[in-house]
Amino acid sequence: MSQSTQPDQPTKVTRAAARRVAIIGARGHVGAELLRLLDQHPHFEVVLVSSRNGGVPIHSEVPGLTKIDLAFEAVTPDDLPTLAERHIDLWVLALPNGHSEPWVTAIEAHAPASIIVDLSTDHRFDTRWQYGLPEVHRPKLLGAKRISNPGCYATGAQLALYPLLDLLDGPAHIFGVSGYSGAGTTPSPRNDPAQLADNLMPYSLTGHAHETEIRWQLGHKVFFMPHVAPFFRGIVLTVSAQLKRLATLDELAQRYTKAYQYEPLVTVQKDIPFPRDAAHRHGVTIGGLSLEPTMSHVVVCATLDNLLKGAATQCLQNMNLAAGIDEFAGLRPFL
């Protein structure tokens, strides 16, 4: 895996930065968060926002926007010959899993020079696409044309495990709890506040897509157990693992400090982080590092906002890197 690079200075590539942005499938929770970030972005201009309910003003669905004054458009991949005339530099696909490929095919046929960032699972295992976890893969994302945005659980789990990766012995066990916004807007028991009230709902306890994603990226076996809680946004992950050798708590803590000392969106703390404190924050907090030294058993916790660093914030990092501008453009007011 690539080592983190220091992000304090704006990163540059030799090609010109992209400017004109289209968001395909923007009426969901993540699309709204991305629009709020792009509304204040110093370099990107949103020129197309798609939804099946075309004609609805964006500000009626996403209040508080001050610069983006558009209406949703009901467009399909068949419209790419016309859409390409808008000279769109960067396409964000915020579509349900399994729906991005027709758009990718059309964009590559009619606007092949443009950048695509896919928020779905569709390209996370495609080696022709770059996997967009900047804290680990930053050099490969600079100037990339095809980026697959990581999953929300997978983001927190990988960052929690990455500093210990060479010490792990056997599978890591990940207990994850997400707010119900992670279940999307299509009605289901996992986003129904009435069914979630005073409840914790386990689901997909084997074979979850993020379990496969974490294994694929880390090259290490993990077992992941996801749950949904009654709160709207935020994730907490409790990660338990066995180490190959005896270690001290100070040694392990130093690994986290060293890995993330230059990462403004990763906070390492001693105390256990809570999901309520992650809501509306743009980074990941890792803490509660605990060690049973005689058994070489380590536990660490991570929290993040599933809609932000778990999706929209990370998407913006990837957009910036692909465009060759400051990775944290549009985010610096929140750092």
Rg, Å, the chain Cα set = 20
Q: Is residue 315 annotated as part of the catalytic site, yes or no?
A: no
Which of 184-188, 250-254, 306-310 has the lowest average pLDDT? 184-188
pLDDT of residue 3: 47
pLDDT of residue 2: 44
Which ranges in the chain are annotated with CATH 3.30.360.10? Answer: 152-306
Looking at the chain, the whole-number percentage of residues with pLDDT higher than 90 is 91
**287-301: per-residue pLDDT in tens?**
999 999 999 999 999
User: Quick one: fold of 152-306?
Assistant: Dihydrodipicolinate Reductase; domain 2 (3.30.360)
Q: Give CA–CA dist 28/23, Å, rounded.
A: 11
Tell me what the pLDDT averaged over the chain comes to: 94
**218-232: per-residue pLDDT in tens?**
999 999 999 999 999
Q: Which of 152, 237, 312, 315 is catalytic?
A: 152
CATH architecture label of 20-150+311-334: 3-Layer(aba) Sandwich (3.40)
Mean pLDDT, residues 145-150: 98
Q: Give CA–CA dist 271/273, Å, rounded.
A: 6
Whether the Cβ atoms of residue 241 and residue 168 lie closer than 8 Å to each other: yes
